[in-house]
Chains A and B, each alone.
Chain A
Amino acid sequence: MQFIKEGLLKVDPGLLLWTVITFLILLLILWKAAWKPIVEALDSRAEKIRGDIENAEKSRQEAEKILNQHREMMANARSESAQIISKGREEAEKIKNDIVDKANSESKAIAERAKKEIEMVKEKALTDLKAEVVMLSTEIAAKIINKNINADDQKSLVNEALNKIRTVQ
């Protein structure tokens, strides 16, 4: 057992006791002053981080839900607006067609009326003309009858006529 008392493999009981004492002192000091607060702080931090991650996950899911709702609403609004626009366009088309039809029929009516009026005026003018022609012919006939009465009368008629022309001139 010489190698235990001397050399590289020596086990010195004093040193062993010193090791035990030193380590016990270290354990006592650090247990109270370091490890306990560190472990507590790290544990509470881990707890807090776990809670934060859970909360974040929850908020993320909520946000996703809201986003989906929004997307749906947007899609709805888009289709609705498209519907409104197409409806409006249809209506406008209809109104346009109506207006054009109405204008067409009105213009036709106006043209009809104008034609009728023209017809009426023409008839009236024709009747007037006829009356005038009758009067003129009776006048001419009377004059012709007058001339046949005597030469003097004829002469005076001619003069009268000449005078009339002169005055006209």
Chain B
Amino acid sequence: MIRLVQVFNTLIQSGGEKGEESMYDVVMHHLTDHAITTGFIGKINIQIESLIGGKLFGIFDMRITRWVLMMWLALFLCVIIFIPVARSIKKSTMGSKSRWINMWESLIGFVHDEIVEPNFDHKYIRKAMPYFSSVFFFILFCNLLGLIPGLSTATGNLAVTAGMASFTFLLMILVGMVKQGPLWIFTGIVPHGIPFVMYFLLWPIEIAGLIIKPFALTVRLFANMTAGHIVIIIFIYLVMMFQNYFVGIGSIAGSLMIYMLELLVAFIQAYIFATLSAMFIGSSMHAH
């Protein structure tokens, strides 16, 4: 995989002429994160740096970056949308007449019916709903914000998706420990009724599976959100590469098509992340 990335890098670095931005520069500019050094946020960043002395615990660079701002925007949108929606739903017991409220209600119903209900027992649905709704809508909003020109996709970054997947990982272990006892990690994850010797073979595999599941979540969300953006940017970059207006017709049409696809992908990936998290966490509620 590392080799593949290197090949990819040399391939796109070769584009562009001297003195111009290469395709690699354009893509990297749009898809990678940098700490903000200018304006109001830049001043706050200097304060943060001096407060924690460079890096927190030596590894965490806590300066606010573009991606952090995007996540805060998603957080802000979630808060200003769902708190009034919650109030309105609570107030009108027989369903609201407003399309806006009903749209969000149907999405929440989607989370309830498609993500939480198939993976949890009936009595735990109410407890599981808040976490999975938060995951779904936070990722959905991050994905969709990235499609607005000028903004960035927070979920198109491995650190962000790894942060989200680490919640799934921790919850898998925590739920297993609470529901099946603290020694769950030794007994619960291996299927029952296998020969004793097989246990020593299967246990490492199951442990590896436990780690691979959130890792797969991380990479899936990151790759899906990044790939679409790379394609959109490259379609538009074609105009700069060929220096020709007519290329613009095809490349704009192409990038528009990918953009439409990305709208779909944004929703599907949020759904997949939430539903796989529910599946993993739900499966650690019972012994295999």
Residues on A lying within 8 angstroms of B by beta carbon are 3, 7-20, 22-23, 25-27, 29-31, 33-45, 48
Contact = CB atoms under 8 A, between A and B. Distances in A.
B133 interface: yes
Interface residues of B, number: 57
11 contacts: A3-B6, A12-B65, A13-B59, A15-B157, A16-B163, A29-B79, A30-B79, A31-B134, A35-B134, A42-B105, A48-B93
Contacts of A38: 82, 85-86, 89-90, 105, 108
B131 A23 contact: no
Interface string B66-98: 011001100100110011011101100111000
A30 B138 CA distance: 11
A9 B138 contact: no
B62 interface: yes
A38 B129 CA distance: 10
B131 A22 contact: no
A8 B85 CA distance: 37
Given A8-B32, A45-B93, A14 B61 contact: yes
Contact of B86 (A12, A14, A34): A34
B162 A11 contact: yes
B28 A7 contact: yes
B82 to A, nearest CB: 4
B166 interface: yes
Nearest to B6: A3
Contact of B60 (A7, A13, A35): A13
Contacts of A7: 5, 9, 28, 32
Given A27-B134, A31-B130, A37-B86, A14 B75 contact: no
B89 A15 contact: no
A43 B61 contact: no
Given A14-B62, A14-B159, A35-B130, 4 more contacts: A15-B163, A22-B72, A27-B134, A41-B93
Interface centre among A10, A38, A44 (most CB of B within 10 A): A38
A23 B95 contact: no
Interface of B: 2, 5-6, 9, 27-28, 31-33, 55-56, 59-65, 67-68, 71-72, 75, 78-79, 82-83, 85-87, 89-90, 93-95, 105, 108-109, 112, 126, 129-131, 133-134, 138, 154, 157-160, 162-164, 166-167, 226
B133 A35 contact: yes
B82 A30 contact: yes
B278 to A, nearest CB: 15
Contacts of A43: 126
B274 to A, nearest CB: 13
A39 B163 contact: no
Nearest to B160: A19
Contact of A36 (B33, B79, B130): B130
Contacts of B85: 34, 38
A34 B83 contact: yes
A155 to B, nearest CB: 146
Contact of A23 (B56, B138, B157): B138
